[in-house]
Amino acid sequence: MTNYFRQLTLPWLIALSLMLLFTALWYHYESKIMQRAQVQQYTSSLQFSIRPLLANKNPDLLKAQLNHLRYASVLPVSAIAVYSDTGRLISGTDKAALLPRFQPEQMQHEFHLVHEAGTLIAVQPMSSSAASSGYDDVMAGQNDNYYVVVQLDAPGNYSVWLVPVLVVAMLGWGAILVMHSAIGRVSQRQQTDISLLVHKLSQLKQGQLNSRLDEELVSELAPLKLALNELAGQQLNNRSREDTEKNQLKQQITELNQLLVSEKQQSAQLQRLYEQSKQQQQQQILQLRQLTQQQAAIPDKLLQQVLRSQLTLAELTLASEPEPLKPLVLTEYVARQLPHYRNILVTQNLTLQLNEAAANAVYQLALPESLLTTLLTALLRVSSHSDGITELTLNMQLSVTGTTGSLLLSVTGNGDGLLASVKQQLVNPGLHSTDWQDIDSQIVTLIATKLNAGIEVQSLDGLGSTVSVRISVADCQPVQVKRLNHLLLFEQQLPRLSERKAALGSLVANVAQSSDLAELQRKAKQYHYDAALIFLPEPTELAVWLELIQTLKEKTKVLCYAEADCIQMWREALGVVIAAEPFCLAELQQLETADTAKLPKLLVVDDNPTNLAFIQMLLKLQPLELTTANCAQQALQLCALQQFDVILLDIQLPDLHGTEVARQLRQMQAYQLTPILAFTAHALADEVASFKAAGMNDVIFKPLEVNKLQQILHWCSSVKTDNAGQ
């Protein structure tokens, strides 16, 4: 910065000199302009003062006047004279003789100011007719016959412009002094900052970490400050990196030591596992020997089953590789495995019930099939060991949220509850037992551990038991299934009726349920279904059941199920195929859906939206295809486009009377024999006669009730029978 100001000293001096020269020239030029203006003004005033005297032709008076004007002037006038245009002196002041001889070479009309021998000579032309001419004539230059010549002493120009030049010089010199002082202060500041930089560099060289420079420096040294701080930061980073690397090396050494210790521990653990495996094998051999010794105590029909369970436990214990996942649809899986599960219980004369969830049929999930089969088998065997047990219920409930699901597998028995050792084994999986009845509980706990599943046990003496295993399923994908439109379901036990209806929700659109025989008879006669699912109760009223089953068989497909102890009696009484329970959803999926093209088509015409909505609600579960229209014109258009089997026609329509609509329909070739039912709130006998005369077959009065609904279904059923007969 100091060098910069020093380099600017000469340009500043040159600029100051040029400024002084310009100031002097400007003041000199300005003084000459002012001088010329003052002299011209003075000579102009002389014209007006001496013009009247020129008219009087009195030289003495003119001279006196000129002397007076000379002495009264503020200008340094030395002489005044009046000349004619021929150069003759008319009159003048006392020193007029000092004037140089005036001889104009030609006529002059303007004011002139010239310098001669250190004096100023001003020449002002004026008119000779001063007395009669006005100011405007003189200014216009008319009658210019005389000249006023004024001699002035030339003033010293130095006094005019010297003062401002001196003022400017003093200001410039003061500015230079101030700049010099500032340069000195900046130079001193620079010296101080440089000393600080040298000190910090010395600290940086010695490796001190606190060598960062935070003081404010002059702007010229700012880059050096940044460079110094970068070097200090790099030094600090290098030191930190070195410390970090040292710590990392120490940590790596520690980790290596820990790894060595861990490897030693793993080696010792493997050795212990090997010893445990040998011990387990020895225990299994011992158990097999004990089983052989206990053979007399174990019933013959269970001995082979126990040996298989023991072999399964050994295989699960020694298996190291995870079981492969397989995509499964639970309904299909259960249908395949159901004979196997029934065979497990048949040796103990136990019956099996099956409860499935609606989601079992519509989702595919990935599970190890062999483990799942082994787990369900073990659950059934665990629950079958209870005293007084006659029936087991297998529950498979899949619940899905998004793509993840939860599968609940549970077995419920109606006996006296689980054996104490079995229950203890399920609650505390770490316990080991050599009792043959505890082998299946060990299989359950071992598979639950492999599947990361939870086990729940409920067992009360005399009230039965439930063993549940809940498995989380990560990937559940929906699958397409065939759905039935209408199904008739009969189950006398209300709890099971609700369970069965809930399970059918994914396979059937509408389920008509019944738990009473009379209600079942009424629904069987009135409605048409895609299939009828009948769970037969204890054999009573066999004749009624025979008639009912025969009626249903004529209309739809019938699936009958009965318990094993009474199935033979039902078969002999009904003469139809009756399957032993349990029922699985896969059997229903194998049925073909009903041919909706064969269902009767009903057209309901009414201008009241409430009536139409109520009719749709009443008929939605009925075996027919329902179409609605809200005016006569729409009804006629629909009948022209398609063939309806029965028409329920409102009498009071907004655009056309119902009887007229009936007449127009009867004129169509396709509707000459179609049943048309009048739909009205009230009608007298003659009105009913007019309805029938128009071609209507029957009259149904509003409001539509359940008992009146039978009239419509009767006509639909008769049409269906006629079409079937054709």
User: What's the rounded Cα separation, in Å, for the pair 263 and 258?
Assistant: 8
Which has the minimum average pLDDT: 285-294, 400-409, 575-584? 285-294
Q: Which residues contact 403 (CB under 8 A, 6 or more apart)?
A: 474, 475, 476, 477
Are 380 and 394 spatial neighbours (Cβ–Cβ below 8 Å)?
Answer: yes
May I ask the CATH class of domain 2-159?
Answer: alpha beta
Percent of the chain's residues with pLDDT above 90: 9
Higher model confidence: residue 39 or residue 56?
Answer: 39
Which has the minimum average pLDDT: 207-211, 291-295, 569-573, 659-663? 291-295
User: What's the rounded Cα separation, in Å, for the pair 198 and 416?
Assistant: 98
Residue 42 confidence (pLDDT) above 50: yes
Residue 663 confidence (pLDDT) above 90: yes
**pLDDT range class, residue 491, cuts 50, 70, 90:** very high
Q: What is the pLDDT of residues 362-394, one digit of tens each?
A: 999 998 988 889 889 888 888 887 778 888 889
Nearest to 376 by CA among 349, 419, 407: 407
Per-residue confidence (pLDDT) for residue 140, from 0 to 100: 37
Per-residue confidence (pLDDT) for residue 133, from 0 to 100: 41
User: What's the rounded Cα separation, in Å, for the pair 524 and 518?
Assistant: 10
Q: Can you read off the two tokens belonging to residue 613?
A: 């909505």
Per-residue confidence (pLDDT) for residue 105, from 0 to 100: 60
User: What's the rounded Cα separation, in Å, for the pair 173 and 182?
Assistant: 14
Per-residue confidence (pLDDT) for residue 138, from 0 to 100: 37
Burial of 438: CB neighbours in 10 Å, binned 0-12, 13-18, 19+: buried
Residue 639 confidence (pLDDT) above 90: yes
The pTM (predicted TM-score) of the whole model is 0.50
For residues 583-603, b (16+ Cβ closer than 10 Å) or e, as one string? bbbbebbebeebeeeebbbbb
CATH architecture of the domain formed by 298-478: 2-Layer Sandwich (3.30)
Are 318 and 384 spatial neighbours (Cβ–Cβ below 8 Å)?
Answer: no
Q: Can you read off the two tokens belonging to residue 132?
A: 């009669």
User: What's the rounded Cα separation, in Å, for the pair 639 and 664?
Assistant: 11
Angle 338-343-344 from CA coordinates, rounded to 5°: 100
Report CA 30 to chain centroid distance, whole Å. 82
Are 96 and 80 spatial neighbours (Cβ–Cβ below 8 Å)?
Answer: yes
Are 309 and 385 spatial neighbours (Cβ–Cβ below 8 Å)?
Answer: no
Per-residue confidence (pLDDT) for residue 282, from 0 to 100: 65
Instruction: Please state the length of the chain.
Output: 726
Q: Can you read off the two tokens belonging to residue 712?
A: 């419509």
Stretch 407-432: mean pLDDT: 80
Task: State which fold the 596-725 domain adopts.
Answer: Rossmann fold (3.40.50)
Which has the minimum average pLDDT: 27-36, 398-407, 582-591, 627-636? 27-36
Amino acid sitting at position 467: V
Per-residue confidence (pLDDT) for residue 132, from 0 to 100: 40
Per-residue confidence (pLDDT) for residue 237, from 0 to 100: 77
What are residue 355's phi and psi, to 5 degrees? -120, 125
- CA distances, 349 to each of 296, 353, 354 (Å): 21, 13, 17
User: What's the rounded Cα separation, in Å, for the pair 111 and 129?
Assistant: 19
Right CATH number for 484-589 from 1.20.1280.260, 3.90.1200.10, 3.40.640.10, 3.40.50.2300? Answer: 3.40.50.2300
Residue 408 confidence (pLDDT) above 90: yes
What are residue 656's phi and psi, to 5 degrees? -160, 145
Angle 309-312-313 from CA coordinates, rounded to 5°: 90
Residue with tokens 């014209």: 47
- CA distances, 626 to each of 15, 513, 597 (Å): 110, 22, 12
Alpha helices in 73-157 (DSSP H): 135-140
Q: What is the pLDDT of residues 505-543, one digit of tens each?
A: 888 888 888 999 888 888 887 667 888 999 999 888 888
Higher model confidence: residue 595 or residue 700?
Answer: 700
User: What's the rounded Cα separation, in Å, for the pair 518 and 516?
Assistant: 6
Nearest to 350 by CA among 493, 564, 499: 564
Instruction: Give rounded-to-5 percent helix, strand, coil for the chain.
Output: 55, 20, 25
Residue 430 confidence (pLDDT) above 70: no
Q: Where are the domains of the chain?
A: 2-159, 298-478, 484-589, 596-725
Per-residue confidence (pLDDT) for residue 382, from 0 to 100: 84
- Same CATH fold assignment for domains 484-589 and 596-725: yes
User: What's the rounded Cα separation, in Å, for the pair 640 and 623?
Assistant: 24
Q: What is the pLDDT of residues 229-247, one digit of tens each?
A: 777 777 777 777 878 888 8
Report CA 146 to chain centroid distance, whole Å. 107
Percent of the chain's residues with pLDDT above 70: 81
For residues 3-13, b (16+ Cβ closer than 10 Å) or e, as one string? eebeeeeeeee
